[in-house]
Structure 1
């Protein structure tokens, strides 16, 4: 049995007080409609990397605490408290920082087929859990008996999206390497998409339910992705299909087929998140912090024969291209969907009358390069969840492959993980030692 022993718990406050002029952080309409959960990420570093740190792991906790304090001075909303669903009070409440010992070698955690074992590297209660009544940032430094470490960070989704989380982590890493590094996050707040309501929307609008699914992890090597692209390219009419498009199409196809246990095909649709920073007019800098995103959708598929990879890839590309012809501030599909659910008292996407599968891609962010001063992570990961029928994609350490985090209910997963069409291209995590 793997056990976690708490060594210490600290509250890390910003090095400098937040100015009174920045005391209230106004949340945009998109911020208000997203979940009030944490975004839970973790990064693993080997014993050989830890050995390069002066005094090894003895000073590691204090080193990270000091640099986190400096980082929170610039990223002050993540040191604040959620006042209501429209406002974060930047009161310098601070971040929670745990240091723990895990009685297992790192490899047995990283490659364990049960994702719940990997999730032990996260602070208790943070796995897509609510940040209401708790610090907006919670971190944990885990020491393994082999000498390796894991650094997990859970940041409030209310403050920002995956892109925001990446720049927070990138800057924390930069300050750990160099205490004089300059940070320049740009908080857009409610200037882009203000709320049409006088007060905050009643929350929660989106509940995370990780207990309703299990997560399995699959690695697509660079060579397998090339083969997958070649399989669909000549039939789909899509020029240079991306890693995200082909992997996403295959996961969706196999997941829908796994759900078809009754012999009666269930209509379904694939919805994907999209970062809007580069497509805004004028474009926003990538360091813009907030939930600056929308979603785009494939058609609803009513027949099984529609689920052919070339067609799926073509539909994904077409729906993504349609974003460029839309005003994604005034016609933000994510906001429209959530507001409809809010007005009708329904769960999000319920009015579509079909099974909805959702994809989030982190392939555009260089999480695999997060160097806190002892080298790039051996690998990065994300917690199980947040709900059924969700795929999350991250880069492999070489940035050429893809690691897919697939969240399905137990019945569907038992079929999905054995599909020949999937295993032709994907390797289960427990067999992927040589691919990461």
Structure 2
């Protein structure tokens, strides 16, 4: 098991831009953290001048101003607690990161809000916490932590302005593939999203999100609830819809619990709307490439009316039906001109209206399942766990594959005052750990 004591961010002194931090020590609960340096890492080959401007798509324009965080955890190999080998591994990771950025060169640039494009200026990615949409903000931050027990954690934070979870997975797995094969064959990203979805100068999908915890108008709480194989099998046995996915079974339990929390808070059953991002890759005709960089997703929307008392099966049917319909509609997005554009844009516009309605319980669930994070081998074997992190959100759920591959982990972000009620929901008690 990974030992979480005294992680150290490494520095080999070979950074392109090197900002020394003299003996900076952070105390976090019982964990002592030493930050030795902060640095930028640039592409190994400079981006040609002809590729300097990367135009974002209208789907990128709609993306919320947040960052996508992920942490991969690796155990100590064969009980080895020596840090010398891990220092070497970290140095190798940095060199391979330079090569990976050569392929994903827009991620090493900076987003220009006024022009709605990425200046591919090779300023690089940085090992720092980042915010989105400012000209000085890196679009990717990477942090490598070494633990005294010999374990290692690789954290990544990606600006949602030009990256969705599929882009994040392509980047991380491409980075790991370089470590395994030393070859770039098979990991070239497609950078032509704007040719399919040209920019239109749209307002971003706000979701009323703060840029950081300190700017939030509420105190947020994040907890992970695990649904193991047995719990999902039990839920499936309760359901008359054999084709429904495990993700929608878990989402039905989670949404039903959030509706119950809202009813307890307000003393009545209010309308509730749930949005679920749907990855467009592989669902359009013709299909978009799997490793297309950018935000290539639409919103599947499901609504429960005020006063409705929904049983588990009812919620499952609603979720499954709305997502199946949206996936079918996405098939003609590329071939139907303006009608196809509206299939993507209209749910965003409607959701922005819904979020401003104080009489609607608005929830957002996103699935990171089936992305190959557990295949990311940087030379230390495959990760023993992949996790999201605490974010300044409420009524937002991120579901991920369980670390054993046969369950689902739900990262639930709520107003801190709502978390105790959510944890006491009878279905959460019965099915989640």
- Quickly name the TM-score band, shorter chain normalised: 0.7 to 0.9
Give the deviation of 1:207 after TM superposition. 4.6
Change (3 A) 1:310 1:348: closer
Relative to structure 2, which stretch is displaced further, 44-53 or 153-162?
A: 44-53
Structure 1 match to 2:91? 62
Structure 1, residues 255-283: CA drift from partner, whole Å, max 9, x if none? 11012223211211211110011111111
Structure 2 match to 1:139? 142
- Map 1:317-356 onto structure 2 (within 5 A): 317-323=320-326, 324-325=328-329, 327-328=332-333, 330-332=340-342, 335-339=345-349, 349-350=355-356, 354-356=360-362
CA contact (8 A) 1:177 1:373 kept: yes
- Map 1:145-294 onto structure 2 (within 5 A): 145-182=148-185, 183-196=187-200, 200-201=201-202, 205-209=206-210, 210=213, 211=216, 212=218, 213-232=220-239, 234=240, 238-261=241-264, 262-294=266-298
CA contact (8 A) 1:277 1:286 kept: yes
Give the deviation of 1:418 after TM superposition. 2.0
Structure 1 match to 2:415? 409
Change (3 A) 1:267 1:22: same
Change (3 A) 1:207 1:89: farther
3-state DSSP class of the match of 1:406? strand
Q: Which of 62, 84, 87 is the equivalent residue of 2:117? A: 87
Change (3 A) 1:332 1:64: farther
Query: Unmatched 5+ residue regions in structure 2?
Result: 1-28, 335-339
3-state DSSP class of the match of 1:258? helix
CA contact (8 A) 1:35 1:158 kept: yes
Structure 1, residues 134-163: CA drift from partner, whole Å, max 9, x if none? 111111111223221111011121222111
3-state DSSP class of the match of 1:208? coil
Change (3 A) 1:404 1:389: same
Structure 2 match to 1:130? 132
TM-score normalized by structure 1?
0.83
Change (3 A) 1:246 1:416: same
Query: Unmatched 5+ residue regions in structure 1?
Result: 98-122, 428-436
Change (3 A) 1:407 1:75: same
Structure 1 match to 2:59? 30
Relative to structure 2, which stretch is displaced further, 350-359 or 179-188?
A: 350-359
Aligned equivalents of 1:50, 1:208: Cα separation in 2: 42
Aligned equivalents of 2:169, 2:126: Cα separation in 1: 19
Aligned equivalents of 1:46, 1:14: Cα separation in 2: 29
Structure 1, residues 301-323: CA drift from partner, whole Å, max 9, x if none? 32241x21111111111111212
CA contact (8 A) 2:369 2:400 kept: yes
3-state DSSP class of the match of 1:278? coil
Change (3 A) 1:131 1:179: farther
Verify: 1:46 aligned to 2:48, yes or no. Answer: no
Q: Which of 382, 400, 406 is the equivalent residue of 1:376? A: 382
CA contact (8 A) 2:62 2:203 kept: no
Structure 1, residues 174-199: CA drift from partner, whole Å, max 9, x if none? 11223224231101231122233xxx
**RMSD of aligned Cα (Å):** 2.4
Aligned equivalents of 2:78, 2:392: Cα separation in 1: 31
- Tell which has more relative contact order, 1 or 2 (C-alpha 8 A, sep 6+): 1
Aligned equivalents of 2:120, 2:208: Cα separation in 1: 25
Give the deviation of 1:349 after TM superposition. 3.3
Structure 1 match to 2:36? 7
Change (3 A) 1:251 1:11: same
Change (3 A) 1:162 1:424: same
CA contact (8 A) 2:179 2:378 kept: yes
Q: How many residues align?
A: 387
3-state DSSP class of the match of 1:424? helix
Aligned equivalents of 2:133, 2:99: Cα separation in 1: 22
Give the deviation of 1:383 after TM superposition. 1.7
Q: Which of 383, 387, 391 is the equivalent residue of 1:385? A: 391
CA contact (8 A) 2:299 2:347 kept: no
Relative to structure 2, which stretch is displaced further, 186-195 or 271-280?
A: 186-195
Structure 2 match to 1:399? 405
CA contact (8 A) 1:50 1:56 kept: no
Q: Which of 303, 306, 309 is the equivalent residue of 1:302? A: 306
Change (3 A) 1:332 1:218: farther
Structure 2 match to 1:366? 372
Aligned equivalents of 1:265, 1:202: Cα separation in 2: 32
